[in-house]
Amino acid sequence: MRLQTILRRAFLAALLSLSASLFAGPALAASPAEDFVQQNIHRGLEILNNKQLSTEQRRSQFEGFLMGLTDMKRIANFTLGQYRRAASPGDIAAFETAFQNYAVAVYQSYFSKYAGQSLKVTGSQQRSSDDFIVVTQLIDPNDRSGQQPLEVDFRVRTDSGKPVVVDFSVAGIWLALEERDQFTDFLGQNNGNIHTLIAHLNDLAKQFKAS
């Protein structure tokens, strides 16, 4: 299905930014938002490199790490676009759960493919008092092409009382914006039926977990 292909590619792009950050080395941060991104690099790395953890323990701790790094509910609600206004509280809650399960399954399925790469924080932009863009570069030590490193940016919000990542950008493409366009397009073709989208995300999550 077209949506499945788009979602795989979109989350793979997000994973590229997240998993790359997990394997980055230590660096000095120049702002609270940069410091937040940098500190979480080491938290994730400790989980992934802990050989004493079982597969289930690693999955559980990695999910906890993702939930601490991102505002998953905020991202999920944003991706529903105008369809969120007419949705019942129960439908929204079910979609948030499906979105989270799918995102975690995809991250866990693909993160190992980017081991050995690193993320270099190069600065940040302050959009408002509680809205920051942390600018980074993806460094591949095996790249001999001489091309400019891929830019990976994190949007960090602090309006909830603590810093959280609410979006990722890879090569200028913002994931949550892309997902909102694709989800609303899917819902538009399915009479706005959120349950149809939930079922599709749940099926995809099962496929990634099985693989």
CATH at 109: 3.10.450.710
Q: Which domain holds residue 140?
A: 2-210
Give the mean pLDDT of 62-69. 84
> Among 26-30, 91-95, 172-176, which stretch is predicted with the lowest mean pLDDT?
26-30
DSSP letters, 118-187, are EEEEEEEEEEETTEEEEEEEEE-TT--S-PPPEEEEEEEE-TTSS-EEEEEEETTEEHHHHHHHHHHHHH
Q: Can you tell me the mean pLDDT for 176-180?
A: 90
Question: pTM score, two decimals?
Answer: 0.75
For residue 14, pLDDT over 80 is answered with no
pLDDT digits (tens, 9 = 90+) for 124-152: 999 999 999 999 887 778 888 888 888 88
Q: In this model, does residue 48 exceed pLDDT 90? A: no
| Mean pLDDT confidence for 55-63 | 82
The domain tally of the chain equals 1
